[in-house]
A and B are shown apart, each in its own frame.
Chain A
Amino acid sequence: MPYEEIEHTADYAIRAEGEDLAELFRSAALGMNSLIAPHPVHGGMEVAVPIKLEGMDVEGLLVDWLGELAYLAESRSMLFHRFEFEEISERRLKATLYGRTVDSIRKHIKAVTYHNLEVRETDTGLEATVVFDV
């Protein structure tokens, strides 16, 4: 499983993993989706949204990435399940997001936090724990 939910006293947290940066970012996005809408009911056509981000470091980039997706969920009721990365490095990414509007949003993510956030190397690739303020 590329992500799992972990315990947090006041809010929500996930641990995501992937063999490289693109997979880690994808896993983290899917993990956040599972908090926003665990049983999504999709409507409408698939939509493609381009995205370009720059961060101070890989953790900052991950926070911005998830922040963009949380914003699109809140403002357009859209969840994204497929990601094509044209470019991804520790401080930049350029990608296309593919997703649909969804009827069954359970949770709003108020913010993606830096709490305990560190992208770590593991035997199989990379992992990160992300805490969301809800």
Chain B
Amino acid sequence: MTHPWTRIDRYRYEIPMSFRPDMRVPACFFSDDTLLESLGEDRSIEQLINTATLPGTVKHALAMPDMHQGYGFPIGGVVATRYPDGIISPGGVGYDINCGVRLLGTHLDREEIAPLMEELASALNTHCPSGVGKGGHVRLKPGELEQILETGSRWALKRGLATPADLERTEEGGCLSGADPAKVSQRAMERGRDQVGTLGAGNHFIEVDMVDEVFDATAADRMGLSPGRVTVQIHCGSRGLGHQVCTDYVKRFQKSIAVHGYRLPDRELVCAPINSPEGADYLAAMNAAANYAFANRQVLAHHIRTAFEEVLTGRVGNTGIYQIYDIAHNMAKIETHEIDGNRLPLCVHRKGATRAFGPGSRELPEAYRDIGQPVLVPGSMGTASWVLVGTSTAMDLTFGSTCHGAGRQLSRNMAKRRVKGAALKRELEEHGIVIRAGSMGGLAEEAPIAYKDVDRVIEVVHGAGIARKVARLVPLAVIKG
């Protein structure tokens, strides 16, 4: 069967601009034979080619090895456009703006915590609201939601829900400048008001993990990771507020296409020049929603600290929890990258892809500047998650980007047909994983077989040099809605 790509090295494939007349740059994706074969009928490669048609696109349109079909952009897509006259596209960020991952470290080993895991999981489930229709525990005063949108994690610091070290070890310090609550609709504000510090449902979760294996001793040591060490992951985003911001601007940008004379192969690729009124408004609204997500994960981290203290004080050595790092994997960022020897400002869209800045990057906290940015890749439920670091190869090849997770390969219905939630819960528990899940149907939808093999995805990014393995984590407890 013919296909439009040629393999350029072990893990990289390229589709030339000549493949389709509307392509402005080549398309390039990272994969291997097995992952490529598992794509089947999935349209992610077609979507990748579509993103190569966007006005102002620079160098190449990219997709990571966990790619799968999305809206407009494939999940796992990375596209950089000229700033400020290139386009910005809400579809290149996703409906869940700043969906991301936070990794927390502890001073505990698995043996200390194992006898207390059921109790701890229940406490986490109580303190961290999850599931459909669950509001948060934090009551906001008038004007406070606007502060969250403007200042993100800094709001949490003022409220006593964060430490300065938490902010230092969050991408962007947990606060993107240029956020403007006035560009966020009333409906989005309404949806976000009661959801601060909530997990949501779907593929969002809190997970207590254990370090299974260390691959880079120096980097692991810097993060406080050693075999048997307990960590906690949070995977969630900007909740209803972010979803509404994306919906609002996808609608508003429909009109932009005619105004700017664009011809797009897919309506979900709607876009506008960054320096147009609607483009600038979206950037400001997106930054506001991103700040909401940073604050959301910060409040959840606070609740996790509370749960650990409540259950473990007096029963284990040190109940303290510290921040390792917090990353976004649905974002568009204004960054400077070297293209053909010139340093250029670009708008880098990462949709289901993670920033992976290499050693020496000024954007990184001092603790990590020499090793590279921590990259947090959650696996599917019950399987491994990974900690990596960004590399200078990523800066050269992918605008400092890498994968974000395992990527789905089965539909939710197919997963539910093959797997019953209650049976999956039993199986996970038999493997020593404690589960607190709000919905058995929701659990089945997130079954490991619904996802690609995360270890294989990691081998590709590590082998391609766009991230370097630091540690592999395995789950001890999963809390989800």
- Residues of A whose CB lies within 8 Å of any CB of B are 5, 7-12, 56, 59-60, 63-64, 67, 71, 74-75, 77, 105-108, 110-115, 117, 131, 133-134
Please determine whether A10 and B70 come into contact, CB atoms closer than 8 angstroms. yes
Residues of chain B with a CB closer than 8 A to A5's CB: 413
Interface size class of B (residues with CB under 8 A): 35 or more
Please determine whether B251 and A64 come into contact, CB atoms closer than 8 angstroms. yes
Closest to B255 in A: A56
Please determine whether B267 and A117 come into contact, CB atoms closer than 8 angstroms. yes
User: Is B95 in contact with chain A by the CB < 8 A criterion?
Assistant: yes
> Separation in Å of the A133 CB from the closest CB of chain B?
5
27 A/B residue pairs, CB under 8 Å, sorted by A: A8-B411, A8-B412, A9-B42, A9-B68, A9-B69, A9-B411, A10-B68, A10-B75, A60-B251, A63-B251, A67-B247, A74-B133, A74-B191, A74-B240, A75-B190, A77-B133, A105-B133, A106-B132, A106-B439, A108-B200, A108-B240, A110-B96, A111-B244, A112-B247, A114-B71, A114-B267, A115-B72
Q: How far is the CA of A134 from the CA of B243 in the complex (A)?
A: 10
The 4 closest A-B pairs by CB, nearest first: A114-B267, A110-B243, A111-B95, A7-B411
Cβ contacts B200-241/A at 8 Å (1 or 0 each):
111000000000000000000000000000000000000010
Q: How far is the CA of A59 from the CA of B70 in the complex (A)?
A: 19
Residues of chain A with a CB closer than 8 A to B287's CB: none
Interface of A is mostly: loop
Residue from B72, B132, B200, B255 having most chain A Cβ neighbours under 10 A: B132
Residues of chain B with a CB closer than 8 A to A106's CB: 132, 439, 441
Q: How far is the CA of A63 from the CA of B270 in the complex (A)?
A: 15
Please determine whether A115 and B240 come into contact, CB atoms closer than 8 angstroms. no
Please determine whether B201 and A114 come into contact, CB atoms closer than 8 angstroms. no
> Separation in Å of the A39 CB from the closest CB of chain B?
11
Residues of chain B with a CB closer than 8 A to A12's CB: 412
Q: How far is the CA of A11 from the CA of B413 in the complex (A)?
A: 9
User: Is B431 in contact with chain A by the CB < 8 A criterion?
Assistant: no
For chain B residues 382-414, which have a beta carbon within 8 Å of chain A? 408-414
Residues of chain B with a CB closer than 8 A to A133's CB: 71, 95, 243
Partner of A10, one of B133, B243, B408: B408
Please determine whether B132 and A114 come into contact, CB atoms closer than 8 angstroms. no
> Separation in Å of the B436 CB from the closest CB of chain A?
18
Closest to B201 in A: A108
Partner of A71, one of B187, B268, B412: B187
Please determine whether B191 and A56 come into contact, CB atoms closer than 8 angstroms. no
Residues of chain A with a CB closer than 8 A to B275's CB: none
User: Is B254 in contact with chain A by the CB < 8 A criterion?
Assistant: yes
Cβ contacts B56-94/A at 8 Å (1 or 0 each):
000000000000111110010000000000000000000
User: Is B437 in contact with chain A by the CB < 8 A criterion?
Assistant: no
User: Is B364 in contact with chain A by the CB < 8 A criterion?
Assistant: no
Residues of chain A with a CB closer than 8 A to B95's CB: 110-111, 113, 133
> Separation in Å of the A116 CB from the closest CB of chain B?
9
Please determine whether B412 and A11 come into contact, CB atoms closer than 8 angstroms. yes
> Separation in Å of the A104 CB from the closest CB of chain B?
10
Residues of chain A with a CB closer than 8 A to B267's CB: 59, 114, 117
Partner of B246, one of A77, A111, A134: A111
Q: How far is the CA of A88 from the CA of B240 in the complex (A)?
A: 29
User: Is B15 in contact with chain A by the CB < 8 A criterion?
Assistant: no
User: Is B461 in contact with chain A by the CB < 8 A criterion?
Assistant: no
Identify 7 new A-B residue pairs, CB closer than 8 A, beyond the known A7-B413, A9-B408, A60-B254. A8-B412, A10-B68, A10-B69, A12-B412, A106-B441, A111-B244, A113-B95
